[in-house]
Amino acid sequence: MTDFNEIIETLVSLDEDRLIELVNAALEAGTSAADILDKGLIAGMDVVGEKMENEDMFIPEVLMAARIMAGAVEILKPLLGDDAGAAAGVVVIGTVKGDLHDIGKNLVAMMMESAGLTVHNLGVDIAPEAFVSAIEEKNADILCLSALLTTTMPMMKQTVDAVVENGLRDRVKIMVGGAPVTRAFADEIGADGFAPDAGSAARGAKALAQ
Ligand code: B1M
């Protein structure tokens, strides 16, 4: 049976080689990629976050943990999609201006691709005007905004407002998410959808694209 605590501790101790070994061993033992991601890697990043808050870990170490996690996610990536189908819609996704967090947003993008959506991932620190241009250029059905900081959540509202001001609101659905974001906040800023994690974001986006 997979010891998720060992995966968590290995990620927190930044032991890249051992983490890759553990992820491969867990897969060989029949543990699902989704469980390894949720109960091992994401849980490990939560511990990293707590340590960051308590000043037991600092930015360079947190960045390293993020890089190591991304390497482990690469192994899981081909195994995570179980819902692929015909092209289900076009998504433009990015992390809002002022916010550099991209691990969760990239997981959301990956799950959406696996679910058959065409995904244009703009990256991090994306200004409202850049989202607006991308909606037009890519003929997007859904705009997906991610924010991890309470201080950048207002930028989601500014982005929604920019979509409205540019006359695009009727042709694009908007979904928001990220650790501090709630359904109530999504409703408050006039978004169409909210999802707490990557799996439900992919399902929600497919539903919104119908
Ligand atoms: Co930052 N950081 N960080 N950080 N960081 C947090 C978010 C924090 C909670 C840590 C803490 O203090 N406990 C805190 C925010 C506090 C707050 O605002 N409430 C924080 C802070 C304060 C900061 C800085 C200000 C620190 C500083 O400089 N003093 C700074 C800000 C920089 C900036 O953005 N301008 C900063 C910097 C960084 C790093 C660059 C070092 C690094 C980011 C590296 C990277 O992303 N490439 C980093 C990291 C790694 C974290 C933590 C530790 C981990 C985030 C993460 O990747 N989680 C984080 C603590 C934590 O979250 N536990 C923290 C794993 C990821 C899979 O989860 O991103 O939540 P998450 O995504 C989930 C869901 O939220 C959801 O699905 C994902 C998968 O299930 N989801 C969506 C995400 N987007 C979605 C969109 C959707 C739907 C669902 O629809 C569109």
Distance between Cα 4 and ligand 1 center (Å): 21
Strands 90-95 and 142-146, sheet pairing: parallel
Pull the structure tokens for residue 121.
């991932």
Which pLDDT belongs to residue 82?
53
Which pLDDT belongs to residue 87?
60
Our answer on whether the CB atom of 177 is closer than 6 Å to any ligand 1 atom is yes
pLDDT in tens, 41-100: 989 988 988 898 889 999 889 888 988 998 998 999 888 765 444 567 999 999 999 999
Our answer on whether the CB atom of 127 is closer than 6 Å to any ligand 1 atom is no
CA-closest candidate to residue 162, choices 190, 183, 120, 132: 132
Distance between Cα 146 and ligand 1 center (Å): 10
Q: Atom 20 (ligand 1): residue with closest C-alpha?
A: 149
Give the C-alpha separation, 104 to 110, whole Å: 10
pLDDT less than 50: residues of the chain? 83-85
Distance between Cα 148 and ligand 1 center (Å): 5
Our answer on whether the CB atom of 207 is closer than 6 Å to any ligand 1 atom is no
Our answer on whether the CB atom of 156 is closer than 6 Å to any ligand 1 atom is no
Q: What pTM value is reported for the model?
A: 0.87
Residue ranges in 29-58 assigned as alpha helix (H): 33-35, 43-53
Our answer on whether the CB atom of 105 is closer than 6 Å to any ligand 1 atom is yes
Which pLDDT belongs to residue 81?
65
**173, 154 contact by CB (below 8 A):** no
Distance between Cα 203 and ligand 1 center (Å): 22
